[in-house]
Amino acid sequence: MSVDESGTTLADDQPRSHARRPPPPSLSVGRRIVRTIGEILITLGAVLLLFSVYQLFWTNVSADLATQQVTDQIRNDWEIGPHPSASGAATTAPATFNPGQGFALLHIPRLGAGWVRPIVQGVTLDDLKKGVGHYPQTAAPGAIGNFAVAGHRATNGQPFASLDLLRPGDPVVVETADTWFVYTVDQTRIVAPTHVSVLLPVPDQPGVKPTKAIITLTTCNPRWASYQRMIVTGTLVETRPKSQGPPAALGSGG
């Protein structure tokens, strides 16, 4: 305790108006650099975290919304009337749909009860955000030749996230306006991204005329990378008019 000139008692730790605080010590150049780098790293970490949330979560949310919209659009179009190119006539000509147009539905029971995704024309990034994309130069559903499609395995809806679960003999069903096309899986293999001959009318056999209808499903491998491609191929085993109800491969639900 202390007493001022007026006799007022003050606590020892009470600041006096005339006392001056010493200036804070200045940081050395090295410490300033370290602090700046730390702030930059924290900012970069926050940006990367936000980007990861966007990639892993939001792209799936937005893709799921787009997928549902395209599915609804396809079913609405079918109620109006079938598209002439969706009838699956036995031809080797590529399907003729408008870019980005949804024209069929893909069912893969192995990937879950009721698993279904829309098939749209084209394999651009925008197309693949809507569902499964059809390679425009390949055959129509059910047609003689190679009906080839692609889908994301991670992010953007990731329709083919579990494509590696498919086994030989598993059904893959393509639904068009008036027909069910049932394929059975023959094999799964891993190839390089440059191995585009898997999209030929007869895969890996340039110039050979096709004699049967097949399906090719393509996606990235491993799931979170893109330095390989997973290729699943199957052969058409049943063509069923929709007036007869869903194929046995889908059970009674369709």
Q: Is 229 a catalytic residue?
A: yes
Whole-number Å distance between alpha carbons of 106 and 119: 7
Catalytic: which of 83, 117, 152, 153?
152
Give me the numbers of helices (H) and strands (E) for the chain, helices first please: 3, 10
Enclosing H/E stretch for 16: none
Q: How far apart are CA 231 and CA 233, in angstroms?
A: 7
83 is catalytic: no
Cβ atoms of 136 and 122 within 8 Å: the answer is yes
108: CB partners within 8 A, 6+ apart: 115, 166, 170, 171, 172, 173
> Catalytic site residue 152?
yes
Helices (H), 123-239: 125-128
Looking at residue 205, what DSSP letter applies? Answer: -
Q: Residue 87: how many CB atoms within 10 A of its CB?
A: 15
| Residues 77, 71: Cα–Cα separation, whole Å | 10
- Could you tell me which residues come within 8 angstroms of residue 32 by beta carbon, excluding any fewer than 6 positions away? none
Long-range CB pairs of 116-121, under 8 A, 24+ apart, other chains included: 116/71, 116/175, 117/67, 117/71, 117/151, 117/159, 118/67, 118/70, 118/71, 118/74, 119/149, 119/174, 120/70, 121/95, 121/97
Q: Is 191 helix (H, G, I), strand (E, B) or coil?
A: strand
Active-site residue, selected from the candidate residues 117, 220, 223, 240: 220
- List residues with catalytic annotation: 152, 220, 229
